[in-house]
Each structure stands twice: as structure tokens, then as C-alpha cells.
Amino acid sequence: MKPTNKLLVLALLAGAFAPRGTLAQTAQAESARAVQASNPLKEFGDLVAGRWMSEIVFAVDLPGLGKKGDKVTGFDTWRWAVDGALLENNWLLGATSGRVTAWWDASAGQIMALEVDSGGGWAQGPIVKQRAKWVWSRAGAFTDGRRVEFLGSYSVEDNGQTLIHAGTAILEGARNEYRDVYRRVGK
């Protein structure tokens, strides 16, 4: 074996049997804890976790889902997954369904969310706390290829029994306001 290969093997073996918790690893773990301390996902998740019911009026035509003005009953279930690293919302809205997943993106310093629905649409973007509201924006597309942007907020009233989801769906330059009210039906 060449001398350089022997040194490489020895270095690898030394690393394999080295004590755990080197200075670099300790600093990295402390840094990760500092980021986790500023992670607001738990606060948001604890606020919305549970089962909710609503009566919703579609603000825009949603291909595969419904027409503007359609009134439908909705059911949302927010729950923790992946040992608390992921928040999931499975929803039913009339004859349609979808899922939102939200996670803490430490590199961006914000909660990120991705939503996909049974009509083939999707949207993604950040959720940020601003005073007593959780403000979010998502951009995506409908199954027919049209781009859509959603700007909105979540706020909670009545000691956590009412969730207000209000905002704007922006489609082909037109702003369509909505305000959906959810009532808690289970924790």
C-alpha cells in the first residue's frame, strides 16, 4: 500500500473511533438550538391543531373544484407529523380534498407551506406572524395552467374556538376577496 493510502486509512480509522462531541459538533448543535428557539411553527401549530368545520363561498372559479359563488361545507384537520417537525392540514371542501404541509425552513427563517388539491392545483409560500395574525402568501397554478396568487391571514377568536381565514385570490390580475369562518369541532 502506498504511504499516502496508509495515511488515509489511518485517518479514517481514527475518525471512526474518535470520541463523539467534538468542538465543531458542539458549536453546530448549539447553533441549531438557537435557530429552533426562534422557530414559530409550534406556536402556529398549537393554535390551529384540531378539527374545524366551515361554510365557504368560493371567491373564484377553481378548476376541478367549483365555481365562483358556490357555497360548500368544509372540514379541516390540522395535526402534527414527523415528530413535530411537520404540520399537516387535510381538508375536505364539498366534493374536493387537499393537503397543506407546513414546516420550519431554518435557512429562510420562516414557516413554509405547500398545498395540493384534488383538482390538480397547487400553491406554496411562507407563513409569518404579524401581531395577532399569521400572514401568508402562496403562488401556484390551477390544473388548467393559469397562475394564481393567494394573500391572506389566519386569526383565532373566541378563546381558540373560531378560526378566521381571510384574504385575496389574485387570478389574471383580478382580486377576489374572501373571508372564511371555521368553528372548532374537536381538539
pLDDT tops 70 at residue 72: yes
Is the pLDDT at 27 greater than 80? The verdict is no
Question: Could you give the residue range(s) of every CATH 2.40.128.20 domain in the chain?
Answer: 41-186
Query: Domain spanning 41-186: which superfamily?
Result: Calycin beta-barrel core domain (2.40.128.20)
Asked if residue 153 lies in contact with residue 167, where contact means CB atoms within 8 angstroms, the answer is yes
State the cell numbers at 22: 467534538
Contact 185, 160 (CB under 8 A): no
How many Å separate Cα 115 from the centre of its chain?
8
Global confidence as pTM: 0.74
The whole-chain average pLDDT of the chain stands at: 81
Count of beta carbons in the 10 Å neighbourhood of residue 29:
11
Residue labelled with grid coordinates 381538508: 91
CA angle 104, 35, 150 (to 5 degrees): 30
pLDDT in tens, 149-172: 999 999 999 999 999 999 998 988
